[in-house]
């Protein structure tokens, strides 16, 4: 993954997929939206050779998961899987 100050980043095992960094968990893991809208999370804080996990099918689903995680955290301190 190539991190640039603005714009899209190259990600994926072949570094041929473009994506937009949409956030981070504050601990170094980064969330990337792919060109088809799928949201991925890096497994490590390294951007050199990222391993990605699919988090959501699209941005709407990601935001719904985020909302549920924040509500759960506020209620019982459990941050969930995001």
Partners of 54 in beta bridges: 40
CB 13 within 8 A of CB 31: no
pLDDT of residue 13: 56
What's the first-to-final CA gap in the chain, in angstroms?
A: 20
pLDDT digits (tens, 9 = 90+) for 14-59: 556 678 888 888 888 889 898 889 999 988 877 667 788 999 999 9
**For residue 36, which of 58, 55, 8 has the smallest C-alpha distance?**
58
pLDDT of residue 27: 83
- Contact call for residues 78 and 55 (beta carbons, < 8 A): no
């Amino acid at each position: 993954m190539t991190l640039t100050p603005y714009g899209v980043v190259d990600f994926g095992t072949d570094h041929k997929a473009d994506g937009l960094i949409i956030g981070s968990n504050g601990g170094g893991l980064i969330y990337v939206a792919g060109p088809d809208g799928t949201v991925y999370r890096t497994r490590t804080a390294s951007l050199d050779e990222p391993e990605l996990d699919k988090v959501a099918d699209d941005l709407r689903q990601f935001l719904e998961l985020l909302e549920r995680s924040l509500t759960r955290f506020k209620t019982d301190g459990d941050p969930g899987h995001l």
